Each structure stands twice: as C-alpha cells, then as structure tokens.
Structure 1
Amino acid sequence: MKKHVLFIQGGGGEEDYTADAKLVASLQEVLGETYLVHYPFLPEEPEPDFGRKKQIDREISLLNGPIILVGHSLGASMLLKYLSESQIRKKIAGLFVISTPFWSGDEDWKQGLKLNQDFADKLPKNLPVFLYHSQDDEVVPFDNLEFYTQNLPQAIVRKLLKGGHQLNNDLSIVAKDILSL
C-alpha cells in the first residue's frame, strides 16, 4: 500500500501552482513508488483565509491511512493554521513546511492568515514537525523562520544557505526526512 503525501501549494494562482509543481515532481522522484504525492490545485476563494482550511480539510478527507503533509510558503502557513484550529480526524504522520511566512501586521487581508498565539499548543500531540528555509529566500524573509523555531522547539530545523524561495526546485532534503519517519 502506498503512503500518502499531501502537498499544499504556495500562493493561490495558476502561476504559483505551476511553479510548485516542480517541487512536487522533485519530491515524488526521490520518494519513489512507495509514496504517492497528491497535489490538488487550490484556487483563492473570497474568504479571509482564501478558503484554505476548508480546502485542506476536503483533501485530507479523500485520503486513507496516515498522511504526510508538506506545504510551501502560504501553503505551509495554512497547514499550521489548519492543524492548530481544526478537529483532526485522520492520522497525520508528519508535517514538513518550507519557506513559511509569519503573518503579522494590521492589514485586513492578513487577518485570516494569522496564527493564534497558542497555535503550537493546539497542534496534534507527538506530531513530527520539520522546518525548511533558505537564507537567500527572496520572497519570505529568512528571519520568519525564527518565529517558528521559538514556538516549535520540538521541530527539526533545516537552515539552508542557498536555494531561494523554491529551494532550487529540489526537495531531496525534504524527501530524506520523510523517508526517515
């Protein structure tokens, strides 16, 4: 039986989906045939969280067995929001978040993206969490990683020197961590 990986894209448009498809292909290639990486297109909906929590819940409900969650950029932050604010009915085997923005500020459009202050306490117990961020990320500042490092002390943190926001479209480091579970 194949192991299921659900990859949640960054951004919300087709351009972001196409860009992240390269990450998905890299991940699937290294994981091999015993894993199936699911990559649904999640369009932005007119909701404060762009409809992400509802979309993630729907995608998780379609999968059987333990699920490995991988998110990039906005998708990574929305996985954290979903896991900390929703009733989780499926076994989540691991959480792997890449280039994760920390949403702060008073702008109206950010309010539905922000994590609750106690988000870390609300994550499923004993959930393996892995954080990845490149120091030369040109989209999400590297110092956003510090927020997550402080709030998720149990997480394994991978600080990468190079790779930019897309980690050079190479998720072999993420795949190796998934394979280590």
Structure 2
Amino acid sequence: MSKQILFIHGAGNQHNPLGSGKLVASLRQQLGSDYEVLAPDMPDPDHPKYLAWKGQIEQEQGKLNVDALLIGHSLGGSMLLKYLAEGTYQKTIAGLFLVAVPYWGKQDWEREYAVPDDFASRLPPIQHLFLYHSRSDEDVPFSSLGRYQEQLSQATVRVLDGKQHSFTEGLPQLAQDIKRLEPGS
C-alpha cells in the first residue's frame, strides 16, 4: 500500500501558474508510486475562510490511514496548523511539513488564520516536523519562520536560498525529507 500524503494548498486556485499545483505535480513525480499525494481543491480559494477550509480538512483527514504525512503550503499551512491545534485530529502524524507558512498576528482580519498563542502545546503527537522557507520569499516574510521556530523547537528547519514562495519548479529537499522518513531509505 502506498504512503498517503495530504497536501493543503495555499490561497488562490492551486491550478493557476503561481498556485500550489506545480509543487504538487513535482512531488508526485519525485516521490513516485510509493506515495499517494492527495491535494484537494479547497473551498473558495480566492476568498479563503477558516471554517470552510476546516470542514474540508476534516473530510480529507477521514480518508487517511494511520501515520499519514501532512503538508501545508503557505496559507494552507496556516489553516492546517490551526486545525491541528484545535485537538480534533486523533491519528498519529508521521510527518508534518510546513512550506512558506505565514505567521499571522492578532490584527482584525488576521485573527481568522492565526494560531492560538499556546498552539505548540495543543498539537497532536508529530513524529517528524519540518519547516521550509526561502530567505527572500517575496510573499511571506522570512521572519515568519523565526516565529514558528521559537514555538516548534523540535522542528527540522530548512532555510532555502532565493526568493521562491510557490516553488513552481518543485522543492527537491521536501521530497528528499519525505523519502528519508521511510525505513531503509
């Protein structure tokens, strides 16, 4: 049986040129048939609302086997992390991979996406946690990575050179890290 990966895309249609779709396609190619990458279209991605995305994440997580891998890209990572911090996900998480995830403040509209201050203590058990962020990301400030590092000290951090955010050419380090989690790799 192939290893399942649930990929939650960033804001905007993932099939647009700068959407998460190219990253998903690259992952599928690099990981091969040993992995099943589930990348559902999230509700109203141009006007994302947490409750709608939470509902979709709950529906998708119901399809996952134990020890699935979870990937959140950009806003999708924010939504996934907030969902996990609510404590309703009960399955073991073999790996959580957060790619270019913004750290939201507590200002007006940002509250919808912000994790609680104590979010790290509320997460379910995660066997492996990885954070990826480009030094010169033009969409999400590099300082977001530092904020997550402070809270998630157990995470393996991958600081990437360049200004990539959408990773339209792929993110080989992500695929390598996923493969390394498999016994015998």
For the residues of structure 2 that align with 1:134 and 1:167, how far apart are their CA atoms? 10
The amino acid across from 2:160 in the alignment is: L
Q: Give the superposed CA RMSD.
A: 1.8
Secondary structure of 1:140 counterpart: coil
Query: TM-score w.r.t. structure 2 length?
Result: 0.89
Tell me what 1:112 maps to: 112
Q: CA deviation at 1:49?
A: 1.4
Tell me what 2:27 maps to: 27
> Superposition pairs for residues 134-153 of structure 1, below 5 Å?
134-153=134-153
Tell me what 2:158 maps to: 158
Secondary structure of 1:111 counterpart: helix
For the residues of structure 2 that align with 1:69 and 1:153, how far apart are their CA atoms? 19
Q: CA deviation at 1:161?
A: 0.9
Query: TM-score w.r.t. structure 1 length?
Result: 0.91
> Superposition pairs for residues 23-172 of structure 1, below 5 Å?
23-44=23-44, 49=50, 51-107=52-108, 109-172=109-172
> In 2, are the aligned partners of 1:137 and 1:165 still within 8 Å (CA)?
yes
The amino acid across from 1:119 in the alignment is: F
List alignment gaps of at least 5 residues for structure 1: none
> In 2, are the aligned partners of 1:48 and 1:111 still within 8 Å (CA)?
no
> In 1, are the aligned partners of 2:94 and 2:126 still within 8 Å (CA)?
no
For the residues of structure 2 that align with 1:163 and 1:67, how far apart are their CA atoms? 30
- The 1:34/1:121 distance shift into structure 2, 3 A limit, reads same
Tell me what 1:4 maps to: 4
- Sequence identity (%): 43
Q: CA deviation at 1:163?
A: 4.5
> In 2, are the aligned partners of 1:10 and 1:17 still within 8 Å (CA)?
no
